[in-house]
Structure 1
Amino acid sequence: MSDTLRLTEALIRRPSVTPEDASCQALLAERLEALGFACETIASGPDDFRVTNLWAFRPSATPDAPVLVFAGHTDVVPAGPLDRWSSDPFTPTVRDGKLYGRGASDMKASLAAMVVACEEFLRAHPAPPLSIGFLLTSDEEGPARDGTVVVCEALRRRAQRVDYCIVGEPTSVQRTGDMIKNGRRGTMSGRLTVKGIQGHIAYPHLARNPIHLLAPALAELVATRWDGGNAHFPPTSWQVSNIHGGTGASNVIPATVVVDFNFRFSTESTPEELQARVHDILARHGLRPGADYDLEWTVGGLPYLTPRGALVDAVSAAIRDITGLEAELSTTGGTSDGRFIAQICPQVVEVGPPNATIHQIDECIALADVEPLKDIYRRTLERLSGVA
């Protein structure tokens, strides 16, 4: 069993369901401290949702050496129905050439690979011209209010330089290294409450149906082309996630209808532009803010893009060296904590194992993907420090 696989299994054994860290970070910090990293725990959040964050840093002795940060999360999503798992989700199990367990691919294998890659790299190059950091959280799978965003703000206040960041999210499709996420779309949610007048359904002239008031505007919102995207991002999308209206009785016109929706937006649009367009559409259909509707906005993250440059080139070359693959650059998919890191770091990419089973029953990673992932991280360290 390789060091990477052994450490991955040790992490899976810790049931670190958001926001619990279950001592995963302590285990990793112990390994990092042995390499000369200074490790700091930054806790955040209320007592009933306490989040554990780890900032570990090993400065280079070389003046003005660039700083590479490995980032990721120790928390995992709930296992789901235990009787549907082929083996206990927190007992790492190898069968048919795969390692099964919650977090196997999202993203405990990546964390293990990052740490072992640093161990191998620093054994061979104990004084590299590269500073290395680790930014880990137990609040990525949750609301993400007290995790990476809190650490990034602390680093910003300290004027901590971060030149490059590799996030270990599971980005690959078929084989480790076949896809690099070099950016992500922004995310913005809205909660629209349209106001009516409740009444008996047989006397509509004495009531005002908010669902009927909303329907024309909703149809236009669904049909709207928000932008055309660009060479790096698909077009902005608008999707309804929930609609709540009615009392449950079949003979009552409701007083309100509430619509939850979300934008996944490209760099062609800004939150302010999208918000203004939504309000304009509502106005065209006779809906007045305050009087006829309320609309609450939440911007979950801005889009970011890391074009080809030092980091993308180093990671792409490392993947080519280790696997022979030419990695595809992509900005598709959901969001990640990269959206927070991109606010303090100019070059952020995500590189990890295949994502086919993440969040699923019987989550797993192929054994054949584990060592190449570690080698990609190590080779990237070598290339960025100029020792490759």
Structure 2
Amino acid sequence: MSADPVALTRDLIRCPSVTPAEGGALAYLESVLTAAGFRVHRMTFHEPGAEDVENLYARIGDTEPNLVFAGHTDVVPPGDETTWTHPPFSGDVVKGELFGRGAVDMKGGIACAVAAVLDHLAANGGKPRKDGAGSISFLITGDEEGIAVNGTPKLLDWCAKQGEKFDHCVLGEPSNVENLGDTIKIGRRGSLNGTLIVHGKQGHVAYPQRADNPIRGLVALIAALQAEPLDVGNPNFQPSHLEFTSVDVGNKTVNLIPGEARARFNIRFNDYHTQESLKALLEERALKVAGNAIRFTFEWQPSNANVFVTSPGPFTEMVATAINDVTARSPTLSTTGGTSDARFITHHCPVVEFGLVGQTMHQVNERVPIADLRALTVIYRKIVERYFT
């Protein structure tokens, strides 16, 4: 099998693996890794109310340390395919760029990791180290772009039951902002969704004394919850923030005071907080304003998006040095952006995210420069070499 990251990326893009469909992507990786000597396991996980998801775990070597490359082969839908300059699952190469859904997020990152590891094994007699020590693994899921129930969490549980242990992980998400080498993600903020509900009394607008308009209370509580910052941030994280995203009373009649008003919100929070401490904080702030005059409740949406951070140290320094050697850039250690599967992996080992540039991910004409694929492969190869030195 080819260790060319461009060919590997192209072949993965040609697998239409829109969440949660496997689309042939895991089968392709299984064939490549099996040919290289990996023990490959594919499994499908089930959960009531969620779609079944196929996943893959592969390992070569039997001893510690075990360096893991993680990622997902599922992609978001391409949308209206007629708006694409090149078909989203074609893997066309035009003017030095490879087009296709998943080119950046994140089949390209997986392909670069596979190519780097295959090159490393070829130079070391098919082993992570010439003396046979150490292991390299791939942890590949199929629903990161979905609800992330039957993917990485279940796959990690399966690995734990099999006695698989991990020492460090590189997750190939598109971490860079403008140029390859500008950013390593060492953590992610947590995410919590909720709905603020104010309970009033329905009535005719001509007789407001007979009703209790919940909209007034909702406006007051929204203002109170946003009046003070949740925190001021810290060296690893930006300040936490709360954003209201919709306000709804479900009222289609102009002369009717509604009986209830709702406002949905999201909180992106740092490691000053937990989900439970945030719930308590918002309840406390709302009660101060509401007193006995406003009747309200919160509805909280279950969330597995908890905050985490990998403390800077020898592993992050090794990754940053490899990046600098190839790109001449000193990457920023960042915790910005949305959630990723790193939030699950962090419970098993230290994890950093470093992949391609995320400029075109999830967009029409998603694409990656060929030069970036080759450079990322070299970076991953240096990481592997230094890890096992």
- Asked if the contact 1:82/1:88 (under 8 Å) is kept, the reply is yes
Provide the residue aligned with 1:314 in structure 2: 318
- Asked if the contact 1:185/1:267 (under 8 Å) is kept, the reply is yes
SS in 2 for 1:135: strand
Distance in 2 of aligned mates of 1:204 and 1:361: 51
SS in 2 for 1:298: coil
SS in 2 for 1:105: coil
Provide the residue aligned with 1:385 in structure 2: 388
Provide the residue aligned with 2:112 in structure 1: 113
Q: CA deviation at 1:142?
A: 0.9
Q: CA deviation at 1:363?
A: 0.9
Moved over 4 A (4+): none
Provide the residue aligned with 1:85 in structure 2: 84
- Asked if the contact 1:183/1:305 (under 8 Å) is kept, the reply is yes
- Asked if the contact 1:8/1:108 (under 8 Å) is kept, the reply is yes
- Asked if the contact 1:241/1:261 (under 8 Å) is kept, the reply is yes
SS in 2 for 1:365: strand
- Asked if the contact 2:16/2:24 (under 8 Å) is kept, the reply is no
For 2:254, which of 250, 256, 271 is the aligned residue?
Answer: 250
Q: Deviations over 1:343-362 (max 9, x none)?
A: 111x1100111101111111
Provide the residue aligned with 1:368 in structure 2: 371
Q: Name stretches of at least 5 consecutive residues in structure 1 with no aligned partner.
A: none
Provide the residue aligned with 2:28 in structure 1: 27
SS in 2 for 1:173: coil
1:297-376 equivalences under 5 Å are 297-345=301-349, 347-376=350-379
What amino acid sits opposite 1:85 in the alignment? W
Q: CA deviation at 1:271?
A: 2.0
Provide the residue aligned with 2:19 in structure 1: 18
What amino acid sits opposite 1:122 in the alignment? L
Distance in 2 of aligned mates of 1:287 and 1:335: 36
Q: CA deviation at 1:159?
A: 4.1
Q: CA deviation at 1:47?
A: 8.3
- Asked if the contact 1:246/1:252 (under 8 Å) is kept, the reply is no
Q: CA deviation at 1:280?
A: 0.8
What amino acid sits opposite 2:36 in the alignment? L
What TM-score do the two structures reach when normalised by structure 2? 0.92
What amino acid sits opposite 1:80 in the alignment? G
SS in 2 for 1:193: strand
1:56-205 equivalences under 5 Å are 56-60=58-62, 63=63, 65-125=64-124, 126-127=126-127, 128=129, 129-205=133-209
Q: Deviations over 1:312-362 (max 9, x none)?
A: 1221121122222222211111111000100111x1100111101111111
Q: Deviations over 1:13-64 (max 9, x none)?
A: 111111112010110111111222221122123587221111112224xx5x
SS in 1 for 2:303: strand
Shift of the 146–287 alpha-carbon distance from structure 1 to 2, 3 Å rule, reads: farther
What amino acid sits opposite 1:376 in the alignment? I
Q: CA deviation at 1:265?
A: 0.9
Q: CA deviation at 1:2?
A: 7.5
Query: Sequence identity, in percent?
Result: 39
Q: CA deviation at 1:301?
A: 2.0
Distance in 1 of aligned mates of 2:182 and 2:134: 26
Q: CA deviation at 1:217?
A: 1.2
What TM-score do the two structures reach when normalised by structure 1? 0.93
Provide the residue aligned with 2:52 in structure 1: 50
Please give the root-mean-square deviation of Cα atoms over the aligned residues, in Å. 2.0
- Asked if the contact 2:43/2:56 (under 8 Å) is kept, the reply is yes
Distance in 1 of aligned mates of 2:161 and 2:174: 30
Distance in 1 of aligned mates of 2:208 and 2:267: 34
SS in 2 for 1:262: strand
Distance in 2 of aligned mates of 1:297 and 1:281: 19
Distance in 2 of aligned mates of 1:368 and 1:202: 69
- Asked if the contact 1:246/1:253 (under 8 Å) is kept, the reply is no
Q: CA deviation at 1:223?
A: 2.1
- Asked if the contact 1:287/1:293 (under 8 Å) is kept, the reply is no
SS in 1 for 2:290: coil
